[in-house]
Chains A and B, each alone.
Chain A
Amino acid sequence: MALYTLDSGQVAAGVKGREFSAEEYIYQLLERIEKVEPKVNAFVSVRKEALDEARVIDKKIRDGEQVGALAGVAVSIKDNICTKGIKTTCASKMLETFVPPYDATVVKRLRDVGAIVIGKANLDEFAMGSTTEFSRYGATRNPWDISRVPGGSSGGSAASVAALECTVSLGSDTGGSVRCPASFCSTVGLKPTYGLISRYGLVSYANSIEQIGPIGRTVSDVVLVLNAIAGADENDHTTVGGKPAHSLRQRKGLRVGLVREFIEGAEPRVAKVIHKAADTLAKQGCGCEETSLASVQYALASYYTIAMAEASSNLARYDNVRYGFDLDPEGYEWNSYFAKARSNFGEEVKRRVIVGSYVLSSGYYGKYYLKAQQVRSLIKRELKALFKKYDILIGPTMPILPFKIGEKIADPLRMYLVDIDTVVANLAGMPAMSVPAGFTDGLPVGLQIMADEFQEQTMLDAAYLFEQAAKVQRSPDL
């Protein structure tokens, strides 16, 4: 049996019920990875040790010991999330040899429930990008069409799940970086309310906006992982109290708002699939109607101002003195050493750090950063008002279909524009997720579902309802 096609619930049940061993399952995955990686390039590093960990779980079960809810389940972790003892590079030369001495809280929590880290997933360097083309380790390719981008920045996470190289994944979402690749790779990807999931161990890019989020092939996968990792953490002051638990429910009569600006901004082939999705929801008893989110037009400017400003400060620590790559400091004056070492950032990172410094520099704070923060307030206000009328807001996750590798890489601003549908949720700190909506011309389209803050359950209700009704194909021919 192809164990790598199972979802996490099935794996956990199967391993616990001794239908198959965790070792067998992990072995198959490692084989699959070897077969498929040359085409997909989803991983920065793969862990053969996963097999040993699987054996340990099998033994525990044989001995009648307790195992966690996700025991044996293989997870790939985006390589900007710290894993103790496992190299964490952020796809950058600046962290070439960095081995974290600690686990991110989310990694610890997954390990606590028995999940197995099978590898570190590829990403745009320091999570800055929408296509995973800005990685030192080469671009990840879309499993549905390997000449095309998988989306980004968590491209490796989504591709590894879509290509059946692992069962679930953790990515990070600053401006859409979980949802975009989830959409392009036809997987489910969720960005939680800001503060729901601990960022301790997530290498900061834009820390007032980003969140770690689960990616899986089904809504149930995402729910299981979400429940394992969400909840307050004393190691992160920005997490909110409590330990929420979400479930798969049958819910009728959701009030759905279809965001006009998102639909109108999408290319026709995408819009068509989304309209069909809205119909599907309506047939399931939801009330769908068109609505407007006017502040969308300022969202990108606000997002990039804030993200780049915070990035320029968050990345200042990479001076190669305490960790980085091998460059003997002897003989250098410190300013020259810093400047030379840091010239090893990739282009996109360098650009964003410089722009970020510009918008924060003396005299410009009020013009850019402060205004961008005020725009966030406006967006949140507008969304709050809409969520009084609607349970969820929907639209396309991406305005376009997955494009060819190299197509947008020369024009930064053009690249930024693809985030138009996703940044709104980040700016407002509200949850949003992408579920596969269908295929057009063989390429995946994702339906984005947004909900009010801390209303992940409502969002998941809609996602589950849609998923069950739409029955979109789940794995590519690789």
Chain B
Amino acid sequence: METKIGLEIHCQLTGAKSKLFCRCSCDYRGKAPNANICPICSGLPGTLPLVNQKAVEFAGMISFALDCKVPDEIAFYRKNYFYPDLPKNFQLTQYNAYDITSIGVEGRIEYGGGKNARIRRVQLEEDPGRLVYEGGSMEASVYALIDYNRAGVPLVEIVTEPDFADPKEVRLFLDKITSIIEHLGLCDTKLEGSVRCDANVSVGGGNRVEIKNVSSFADAEKAVRYEITRQRTMASRDIEVRSETRHWDDARKVTKESRSKEEEQDYRYFPEPDVPAVVLGTEFVSSLRQSMPELPDARKERFVSKYGLSAHVAQVLIDNKHMADFFESAIEIYSSPKEIANWIVTDLMSFVDERKKEQERSLFLGLKIGPEHIADLAKLVDQDMINRATAKQILGQIVRTGEMPSEVAKKTEAGKIDDAGALAQAVEIVFKSEQAAVQDAKHNPNAANFLLGKVMQLTKGRADPNAALEMIHTRLNEA
């Protein structure tokens, strides 16, 4: 059964300092209700929209990062409908049905190792306000409570073609988008509600169902999965899937029939008379190219070519900007890219709490270490001061204590015993106490390993296994 999934992603430009059409701060979270508004974003009579230049540039960057065509001019349109969270009872957005006016069209991105998804368009628009219900639910309240703090915050909407065939692809694609957005630095995806994703799902050539109210990327995969199952079940019972809009119920993890008849809307789009067409200029794309932060794919390329990392390791690093940044900070302190990358990608990651990672979307939250710790650790290993096994032990300790590895090493005398004398002493002691094994080892090379094990035990793992084994062999041959 052919499944088609298309996505509509909304990404707040939290990197902007002011709203899209007024000078209010974009930083509305945690503020008292209606403490972050002005006549423009609360839709007072006589006010006019004033376009934020930086927001246009940010949207241009996203467009460009998604390989879209960026037009010479962009325009804003009014989408007219009534709703209590919409101060003007129209939303200022972009629209391409009459002319191409949005900031990007016809893009494409690679994701999930070799897959491709087409981007239909990228557009700039304003966020509405927020509705809160007394008693917590829509049904129970006698009135709605409206907070306009969020109204007017810039949003970039990314609409894909229905190029996804299963929820896994959706997840991989959204991970890529997250990585791109984080690398561009214009949206903090960790903030609640900063990225939202609606989806369109159709199964087996049936009607398309739109799923709205998906408030995080993590939920997108779940919502799509649920909806596919729902549609398949209906199809298997010969029930026709209606073309409709459904709401994702986050609490019960199901899609529900939508209360508002959104399909009956006639939005009566027309160009916003208060905002002239914005001429981007021919140098817009080229200047963006220069000033834009490095994109994940380019960064991966650089990790491979400049630092000699394997493609796999490089990919893991860039999949999460945090990790990639951590890596680059660490190698700045101590330049050993392969070693450090390995420590991060393999060992450090094992300490990352998966649940915490998803909830708080912070990779190394709760771990008390920074790039300097890993750099220090790598240095100790590289310089043969401690062996790998010891290093792993130390790591396990410092993620909780935050001590520097070299401190720990000094304290517990975890420095490798490379002093030949001390090693010879240890070997001597073992040879004396394990005489039977020594005799055995003269004929059986494997028994030498037993002796090695004893030396390691005696030196509490601090001996260099190679040096110890060499010494044992030498002694065996002597005797």
Flag whether A317 is at the interface (Cβ < 8 A). yes
Of A88, A234, A316, A331, the residue contacting B80 (CB under 8 A) is: A316
Bound-state CA distance A330–B78 (Å) is 30
Flag whether A203 is at the interface (Cβ < 8 A). yes
A-B contact pairs, 8 of them (CB 8 A): A88-B45, A101-B44, A104-B46, A203-B46, A208-B273, A313-B270, A360-B268, A361-B268
Bound-state CA distance A362–B452 (Å) is 84
Closest CB-CB distance, B125 to chain A, in whole Å?
Answer: 16
List the B side residues contacting A323 at CB < 8 Å: 44-45
Closest CB-CB distance, B467 to chain A, in whole Å?
Answer: 75
Flag whether B51 is at the interface (Cβ < 8 A). yes
Tell me the number of A-to-B contacts counted with CB atoms below 8 Å: 103
Q: Which range contains the number of B residues in contact with the other chain?
A: 20 to 34
Bound-state CA distance A100–B44 (Å) is 8
Closest CB-CB distance, B400 to chain A, in whole Å?
Answer: 53
List the A side residues contacting B39 at CB < 8 Å: 100-102
**Which residue, of B88, B89, B273, B275, has the highest number of chain A Cβ atoms within 10 A?**
B273
List the B side residues contacting A331 at CB < 8 Å: 142
List the B side residues contacting A207 at CB < 8 Å: 273-274
**Known A100-B44, A201-B46; contact A316-B90, beta-carbon cutoff 8 A:** yes
List the B side residues contacting A204 at CB < 8 Å: 45-46, 274
CB-defined interface of B113-149 with A at 8 Å, one 1/0 digit per residue?
0000000000000000000000000000011101000
Closest to A102 in B: B39
Closest to B47 in A: A200
Bound-state CA distance A365–B78 (Å) is 13
Are A334 and B46 interface neighbours, CB within 8 A? no
Bound-state CA distance A90–B268 (Å) is 25
Closest to A360 in B: B268
Are B268 and A329 interface neighbours, CB within 8 A? no
Bound-state CA distance A309–B268 (Å) is 9
Of B49, B87, B270, the residue contacting A365 (CB under 8 A) is: B270
Closest CB-CB distance, B247 to chain A, in whole Å?
Answer: 17
Closest CB-CB distance, B86 to chain A, in whole Å?
Answer: 9
Closest to B275 in A: A237
List the A side residues contacting B90 at CB < 8 Å: 313, 316
List the A side residues contacting B82 at CB < 8 Å: 316, 319, 335, 338
Flag whether A273 is at the interface (Cβ < 8 A). no
Bound-state CA distance A95–B269 (Å) is 26
Instruction: Please provide the chain A residues from 363 to 422 with a CB less than 8 Å away from any CB of chain B in the complex.
Output: 365, 369-370
Bound-state CA distance A208–B75 (Å) is 14
Of B43, B269, B270, B274, the residue contacting A322 (CB under 8 A) is: B43
Are A321 and B50 interface neighbours, CB within 8 A? no
Closest to B273 in A: A208
Are B46 and A313 interface neighbours, CB within 8 A? no
Closest to A126 in B: B45
Bound-state CA distance A201–B45 (Å) is 7
Flag whether A343 is at the interface (Cβ < 8 A). no
Bound-state CA distance A464–B89 (Å) is 45
Bound-state CA distance A95–B270 (Å) is 26
**Known A316-B90, A319-B82, A319-B89; contact A200-B46, beta-carbon cutoff 8 A:** yes
Q: Which 8 A-B pairs have the closest CB atoms?
A: A208-B273, A316-B89, A360-B268, A203-B45, A207-B273, A82-B46, A201-B46, A317-B43
Bound-state CA distance A313–B43 (Å) is 12
List the A side residues contacting B142 at CB < 8 Å: 330-331
Bound-state CA distance A309–B269 (Å) is 11
Bound-state CA distance A338–B87 (Å) is 13
Closest to B21 in A: A237
Closest CB-CB distance, A373 to chain B, in whole Å?
Answer: 9
Are A235 and B269 interface neighbours, CB within 8 A? no
Instruction: Please provide the chain A residues from 15 to 70 with a CB less than 8 Å away from any CB of chain B in the complex.
Output: none
Given contacts A101-B44, A104-B46, 16 further A-B contacts (CB under 8 A): A95-B45, A98-B45, A100-B45, A199-B274, A237-B49, A237-B50, A237-B274, A238-B276, A316-B90, A321-B84, A322-B42, A334-B84, A334-B144, A360-B268, A360-B270, A365-B270
Flag whether A427 is at the interface (Cβ < 8 A). no
List the B side residues contacting A81 at CB < 8 Å: 46
Flag whether A266 is at the interface (Cβ < 8 A). no
Are B266 and A361 interface neighbours, CB within 8 A? yes
List the B side residues contacting A95 at CB < 8 Å: 45
List the A side residues contacting B276 at CB < 8 Å: 237-238
Are A313 and B45 interface neighbours, CB within 8 A? no
Instruction: Please provide the chain A residues from 198 to 219 with a CB less than 8 Å away from any CB of chain B in the complex.
Output: 199-204, 207-208
Flag whether A310 is at the interface (Cβ < 8 A). yes
List the B side residues contacting A289 at CB < 8 Å: none
Closest to B78 in A: A313
Closest to B144 in A: A334
Flag whether A236 is at the interface (Cβ < 8 A). yes
Are A313 and B80 interface neighbours, CB within 8 A? yes
Bound-state CA distance A330–B143 (Å) is 6
Closest to B39 in A: A102
Instruction: Please provide the chain B residues from 136 to 165 with a CB less than 8 Å away from any CB of chain A in the complex.
Output: 142-144, 146
List the A side residues contacting B456 at CB < 8 Å: none
Are A90 and B45 interface neighbours, CB within 8 A? yes
Bound-state CA distance A334–B50 (Å) is 29
Are B266 and A322 interface neighbours, CB within 8 A? no
Closest CB-CB distance, B80 to chain A, in whole Å?
Answer: 5
**Which residue, of A202, A208, A312, A313, has the highest number of chain B Cβ atoms within 10 A?**
A313
Instruction: Please provide the chain A residues from 330 to 361 with a CB less than 8 Å away from any CB of chain B in the complex.
Output: 330-331, 334-335, 338, 357, 360-361
Bound-state CA distance A50–B64 (Å) is 57
Closest CB-CB distance, A367 to chain B, in whole Å?
Answer: 13
Flag whether B48 is at the interface (Cβ < 8 A). yes
Instruction: Please provide the chain A residues from 235 to 263 with a CB less than 8 Å away from any CB of chain B in the complex.
Output: 235-238
Bound-state CA distance A92–B198 (Å) is 41
Instruction: Please provide the chain B residues from 316 to 352 with a CB less than 8 Å away from any CB of chain A in the complex.
Output: none
Are B89 and A236 interface neighbours, CB within 8 A? no
**Known A310-B273, A313-B80; contact A82-B51, beta-carbon cutoff 8 A:** no
Bound-state CA distance A235–B39 (Å) is 12
List the A side residues contacting B45 at CB < 8 Å: 82, 88, 90, 95, 98, 100, 203-204, 317-318, 323
List the B side residues contacting A313 at CB < 8 Å: 78, 80, 90, 268, 270
Instruction: Please provide the chain B residues from 57 to 100 with a CB less than 8 Å away from any CB of chain A in the complex.
Output: 78, 80, 82, 84, 87-90, 98
CB-defined interface of A72-83 with B at 8 Å, one 1/0 digit per residue?
000000000110
List the B side residues contacting A360 at CB < 8 Å: 80, 268-270
Closest to B51 in A: A237
List the B side residues contacting A309 at CB < 8 Å: 270
Bound-state CA distance A204–B43 (Å) is 12
List the A side residues contacting B274 at CB < 8 Å: 199, 204, 207, 236-238
Bound-state CA distance A335–B83 (Å) is 8
Closest CB-CB distance, A223 to chain B, in whole Å?
Answer: 26
Bound-state CA distance A234–B49 (Å) is 11
Bound-state CA distance A380–B273 (Å) is 18
Closest CB-CB distance, B264 to chain A, in whole Å?
Answer: 11
List the B side residues contacting A234 at CB < 8 Å: 50
Of A238, A310, A334, A362, the residue contacting B266 (CB under 8 A) is: A362
Bound-state CA distance A238–B44 (Å) is 18
Are A369 and B46 interface neighbours, CB within 8 A? no
Closest CB-CB distance, B410 to chain A, in whole Å?
Answer: 63
List the A side residues contacting B275 at CB < 8 Å: 237
CB-defined interface of B7-49 with A at 8 Å, one 1/0 digit per residue?
0000000000000000000000000000000010011111111
CB-defined interface of A291-315 with B at 8 Å, one 1/0 digit per residue?
0000000000000000001101100
List the A side residues contacting B143 at CB < 8 Å: 329-330
List the B side residues contacting A318 at CB < 8 Å: 45
Closest CB-CB distance, B429 to chain A, in whole Å?
Answer: 85
Closest CB-CB distance, A309 to chain B, in whole Å?
Answer: 7
Closest CB-CB distance, B88 to chain A, in whole Å?
Answer: 5
Closest CB-CB distance, B150 to chain A, in whole Å?
Answer: 15
Closest to A201 in B: B46
